[in-house]
């Protein structure tokens, strides 16, 4: 059965760096040992000064006249970022698909990502509207024509894009310190994963996006999931095709060491019962592994954790 929530996976489809270490040189030892000097605490970022002019992910210049106090998010990733930087109390509207964190359920829904309800948005009188991947440009034009500030946080399918989205959100919402901590933690996690898998033999892997009667879908060459699988020490068997459609016959022929599927919608049980998939060695030998695909699909603050989970699946001995 094809995933009921396939559209949400496509959100990620259209959506790494090493943290530099700082080390002070050792001074020459004096005749007498001086008292230890406490390490300097990291400098806090200054409060955001308004008006603030930023260039968003679409290249548009957006001027924020004063600190936004009422924010509408038209992106699940943007909603996660708002809460992660500690600005959840500012959120007055979100989409039907903004499910994380749980507190988001208490916020008024303004419709879908591609077709939000303009009247509902107007009713909450937002100071700022956040958009991201899969957003409809025509809707942005409409919102801007009504006088609303719209900020595009699209990550363009890169970790650097996610870092920029988090940092920019922190800056705009006067939460730069919190945003900086999140970005540095993510960079540290990514660097640790890359260091651990460096030089290991990649594990062949297939990532299930959709399966069954409606067709077989995966992350082909050039997709962000393909990049993440490689970063996590995998060799994507579907990198011989571009896009998302794949052939079950080719998959059976490739017979990857690991098959990864969503934790939701009983996908694992469905795959185990589906012709072609149930013949795979990985499925027979217990290497069909579930993952919370939201860690990977939604390019937000949990993306580095998604990378870590992929690496743990394929190289558990390293973790």
pLDDT attached to residue 251: 98
With respect to residue 2, please indicate whether it lies within any of the assigned structural domains. Answer: no
**Domain termination site, one of 142, 160, 189:** 189
Q: Which residues pair with 116 in a beta bridge?
A: 111
* N-to-C CA span, the chain: 34
How far is C-alpha 304 from the chain's CA centre? 8
DSSP-assigned letters across all residues of 283-312: HHTT-EEEE-THHHHS-STTHHHHHHHHHH
Residues 131, 205: one domain?
A: no
Residues 150, 204: one domain?
A: no
Cis peptide before 88 (omega within 30 of 0): no
Residues 61, 176: one domain?
A: yes
Tokens of 94: 């979100």
Residues 129, 231: one domain?
A: no
Residues 126, 74: one domain?
A: yes
Tokens of 64: 């924020």
Residues 175, 82: one domain?
A: yes
Residues 222, 146: one domain?
A: no
- pLDDT < 50 positions in the chain: 1-42
With respect to residue 108, please indicate whether it lies within any of the assigned structural domains. Answer: yes
| Cα(94)–Cα(116) distance, integer angstroms | 9
Residues 244, 311: one domain?
A: yes
With respect to residue 26, please indicate whether it lies within any of the assigned structural domains. Answer: no
Residues 117, 146: one domain?
A: yes
**Domain termination site, one of 171, 189, 207:** 189
| Cα(238)–Cα(251) distance, integer angstroms | 8
Residues 184, 279: one domain?
A: no
Which pTM does this prediction carry? 0.84
pLDDT attached to residue 134: 84
- Compute the radius of gyration of the chain from its Cα atoms: 22
With respect to residue 246, please indicate whether it lies within any of the assigned structural domains. Answer: yes
With respect to residue 175, please indicate whether it lies within any of the assigned structural domains. Answer: yes
**Domain termination site, one of 158, 189, 220:** 189
For 84-102, the pLDDT digits (tens) are 999 999 999 999 999 999 9
Indicate which CATH number applies to the domain containing 251. Answer: 3.40.50.1980
φ, ψ (nearest 5 deg) of residue 124: -100, 0
With respect to residue 298, please indicate whether it lies within any of the assigned structural domains. Answer: yes
With respect to residue 15, please indicate whether it lies within any of the assigned structural domains. Answer: no
Asked if 108 and 120 count as a contact pair (C-beta separation under 8 A), the reply is: yes
| Cα(201)–Cα(209) distance, integer angstroms | 25
Q: Which residues pair with 131 in a beta bridge?
A: 152
Residues 231, 300: one domain?
A: yes
Strands 203-210 and 216-218: antiparallel
Asked if 177 and 45 count as a contact pair (C-beta separation under 8 A), the reply is: yes
Asked if 10 and 134 count as a contact pair (C-beta separation under 8 A), the reply is: yes
Please say whether the dihedral angle defined by the alpha carbons of residues 66, 68, 70 and 74, taken in this order, is positive or negative: positive
Residues 143, 236: one domain?
A: no
Range of the domain at 218: 199-318
With respect to residue 98, please indicate whether it lies within any of the assigned structural domains. Answer: yes
- For the chain, the domain total comes to 2
Q: Where are the alpha helices (DSSP H) in the chain?
A: 6-13, 76-84, 118-123, 137-145, 159-172, 176-197, 224-231, 248-254, 267-272, 281-284, 294-297, 303-314
pLDDT attached to residue 22: 32
Q: How far is CA 227 from CA 13, 153, 224, 305, in A?
A: 12, 20, 5, 15
């Amino acid at each position: 059965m094809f995933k009921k929530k396939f559209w949400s996976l496509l959100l990620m489809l259209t959506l790494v760096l090493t943290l530099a270490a700082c080390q002070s040189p050792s001074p020459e030892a004096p005749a007498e040992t001086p008292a230890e000097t406490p390490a300097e605490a990291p400098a806090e970022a200054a409060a955001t000064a308004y008006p603030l002019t930023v260039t968003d992910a679409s290249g548009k210049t957006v001027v924020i006249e004063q600190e936004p106090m009422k924010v509408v998010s038209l992106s699940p990733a943007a909603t996660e970022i708002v809460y992660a930087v500690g600005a959840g109390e500012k959120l007055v509207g979100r989409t039907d698909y903004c499910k994380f964190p749980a507190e988001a359920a208490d916020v008024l829904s303004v419709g879908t990502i591609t077709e939000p309800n303009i009247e509902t948005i107007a009713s909450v009188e937002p100071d700022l509207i956040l958009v991201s991947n899969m957003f409809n440009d025509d809707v942005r034009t409409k919102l801007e024509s009504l006088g609303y500030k719209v900020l595009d946080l699209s990550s363009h399918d890169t970790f650097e894009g996610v870092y920029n989205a988090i940092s920019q959100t922190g800056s705009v919402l006067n939460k730069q310190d919190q945003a900086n901590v999140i970005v540095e933690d993510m960079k540290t996690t990514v660097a640790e994963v890359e260091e651990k898998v460096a030089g290991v033999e990649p594990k062949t892997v297939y990532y299930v996006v959709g399966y069954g009667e409606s067709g077989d879908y995966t992350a082909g060459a050039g997709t962000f999931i393909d990049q993440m699988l490689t970063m996590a020490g995998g060799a994507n068997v579907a990198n011989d095709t571009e896009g998302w459609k794949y052939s079950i016959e080719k998959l059976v022929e490739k017979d990857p060491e690991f098959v990864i599927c969503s934790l939701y919608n009983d996908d694992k049980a469905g795959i185990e019962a589906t012709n072609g998939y149930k013949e795979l060695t990985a499925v027979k030998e217990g290497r069909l592994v579930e993952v919370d695909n939201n860690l990977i699909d939604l390019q937000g603050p949990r993306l580095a954790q998604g990378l870590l989970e992929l690496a743990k699946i394929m190289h558990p001995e390293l973790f």
